[in-house]
Amino acid sequence: MVKDWYMHMLSWRESHISTPKFVLVLSFFVGILTALAACLLKGAIHGIEYLLTLNFRAYSFNWLYLLYPVIGIFLAGQFVRHVVKDDISHGVTRILYALSQRKSILKPHNMWSSVIASSLTIGFGGSVGAESPVVLTGSAIGSNLGRFFKMDQKTLMLMVGCGAAGAVSGIFKAPITGVVFTIEVLMLDMTFNSVVPLLISSVTATAVSYFLMGDSVLFPMTGETFGLSRIPWYMLLGVLCGFVSLYFTRGMNFLEGKFRKIENYWIKLAVGGLMLSTLIFLLPPLYGEGYDAINSLLSKNHFKLFEGSPFYDYIDNNYAVLIYLSLIVLLKIFATSATNASGGCGGIFAPSLFIGCLAGYILSLVLGWFGINVPVQNFALAGMAGLMSGVMHAPLTGIFLTAELSGGYSLFMPLMIVSVISYLTIIIFEPHSLYAMRLAQKGELMTHHKDRAVLTLMSTESVIETDLQTIAPEAMLGDLIKLISKSNRNIFPVVNEQNDFLGVVTLEEIRNIMFRPDLYNRFNIRKLMVSPSDKVYITDSMEVVMKKFENTNAWNLPVLDGKKYVGYLSKSKIFNAYREMLVNMSDD
């Protein structure tokens, strides 16, 4: 009965609502649902944090800092291991992988699992952000809503983008950033008509968030306006943010690699939990997202960051303040890595903003000591944009997010200077963002380069030809002639009884003897076969495959699974599939 109703509904939709118009309807509902998810996540995090820290004292040690983060990571880890039973970490990376390798399909549990896991992680003190989990949640909502209505792959990709745009817009109340993030970070190659659904999701999500969470901005700006005389100092801040971004990217990658080598879950939990809780006890601003600390710095009240810290007695020493804030910058990546690697769930949005704010604030203090007066709040905000631009390789996202979070639209010029210079600094050393580097190393990353994007979306399995006649190495020339008479191909793979690929026989190689019956029982295939100019493996990306074709000038290459023969790839068939997919991507 339910199935009949479902099929009738799909049929009615196809008959009465065209796909382009229906996409607009879906994008509206994606915006509503992603905003609700964002508000639910924010509310859960702040509720848990408020209950746990309600009785904390500002002027003495809070020993529960040693306990809360471990409990949060443990609860989140057990939830993921025993309820979700899937990896939900690195949310944006998983979206990029789904876009390039899974036909934009995200599992249904991603619509809720990250919300629960990250609430437990961050509410109990995990030093990560809620944005990546909610972006994964939003993208999963878009993907599964599209799949429910049987949308094609191209539309599913757009729905994933709408979910991401709605999630970013909803959690930050930043509609422009939602659209820019989707285009810049998720690297979707959008046409004008494709941007309209993103705008609908972003604006809808922002409106719902304003209704549920109020219309105030997260980091209210009261700083000075931009002055031309300060351009050199903003340029210096851009370079600083670029190198801090490089430290953040390489440090996070290095630390996560070390944690991955610990195979035992309980040892990993113990090491990560102990590291995180110790760091938070010594440096309380590392607790949670860190947005309260950012607001304190923007209010020029760095003294609040010392509350609950063992270093509170040094609050009036300028050098101690500099060392304390610098330690927070340096050790934040350890706290973030320990949170995620030991079983927690969170992202790097908030850590990027947090470290960027500190970097800008520290530079403004140092310049002030040398008699160079710069607006502290402006530098802190510009530092946030610079770190996000460098870490995510997304200068537009950094610029618009900082402007929308603070209402500081008068700061566009310094935000642009710092963001662009930070981005230009880090790309000298790191060509890919922290989100993308793992996929880029495997050739699974879709980029703004349309040719490469099409190749990334194509799978080797989809273009393998398996209709070639194989022959055993012990067979004779006469046996091959019989195969030739029944085949319309001029390539004959040689495989043994275990289906191991040994070589290939081509008509070109035997043309001079194939019409001499006296030689049919004289030559066996082992003597006639040759090695192919190269081999393709089933795990090779299409970009790697095309490089092999280019390097060998071959038109056909064998495909292997280890040593086992799978089939053949034809350059002409790949070109045909490429042209078809390119048309589909470009067609509105």
Residue 426 located in a structural domain: yes
Q: Look at residue 411 and give its three-state secondary structure.
A: helix
Do 528 and 465 belong to one domain? Answer: yes
Tell me, rounded to whole angstroms, the distance of Cα 265 from its chain centroid.
24
Do 143 and 266 belong to one domain? Answer: no
Do 444 and 486 belong to one domain? Answer: no
Residue ranges for the chain with pLDDT beneath 50: 442-451, 453-455, 582, 585-588
Q: What is the pLDDT of residue 111?
A: 92
Strand partners for 501: 495
Do 39 and 118 belong to one domain? Answer: yes
Q: What is the CATH number of the domain that holds 393?
A: 1.10.3080.10
Q: Which residues contact 452 (CB under 8 A, 6 or more apart)?
A: 446, 543
Do 238 and 151 belong to one domain? Answer: no
Strand partners for 550: none
Q: Please state, for a pLDDT cut of 70, what percent of the chain lies above it.
A: 89
Domain limits at 560? 459-586
Question: Crossing angle for the helix pair 153-172 and 175-184, nearest 10 degrees?
Answer: 140
Residue 219 located in a structural domain: no
Do 504 and 425 belong to one domain? Answer: no
Kindly list the distances between the CA atom of residue 357 and the CA atoms of 352, 383, 579, in Å, as whole numbers in the listed order.
9, 5, 47
Q: What span, in angstroms and rounded, lies between the C-alpha atoms of 3 and 16?
A: 20
Q: What is the pLDDT of residue 435?
A: 67
Do 448 and 464 belong to one domain? Answer: no
- 452, 487, 506 — which closes off a domain? 452
- 452, 483, 503 — which closes off a domain? 452
Residue 528 DSSP label = H
Residue 17 located in a structural domain: yes
Residue 223 located in a structural domain: no
Q: What span, in angstroms and rounded, lies between the C-alpha atoms of 147 and 126?
A: 34
Average pLDDT, the chain: 84
Q: What span, in angstroms and rounded, lies between the C-alpha atoms of 482 and 429?
A: 59
Q: What span, in angstroms and rounded, lies between the C-alpha atoms of 222 and 63?
A: 36
Q: What is the CATH number of the domain that holds 463?
A: 3.10.580.10
Residue 466 located in a structural domain: yes
Do 296 and 180 belong to one domain? Answer: no
Return the residue matching tokens 């004959």: 492
Do 443 and 465 belong to one domain? Answer: no
Do 109 and 155 belong to one domain? Answer: yes
Q: What is the pLDDT of residue 451?
A: 46
Q: What tokens were used for 202?
A: 């972003």
- 399, 434, 452 — which closes off a domain? 452
Residue 220 located in a structural domain: no
Do 463 and 425 belong to one domain? Answer: no
Q: What span, in angstroms and rounded, lies between the C-alpha atoms of 533 and 411?
A: 58
Do 402 and 465 belong to one domain? Answer: no
- Number of domains, the chain: 3
Residue 221 located in a structural domain: no
Residue 6 located in a structural domain: yes
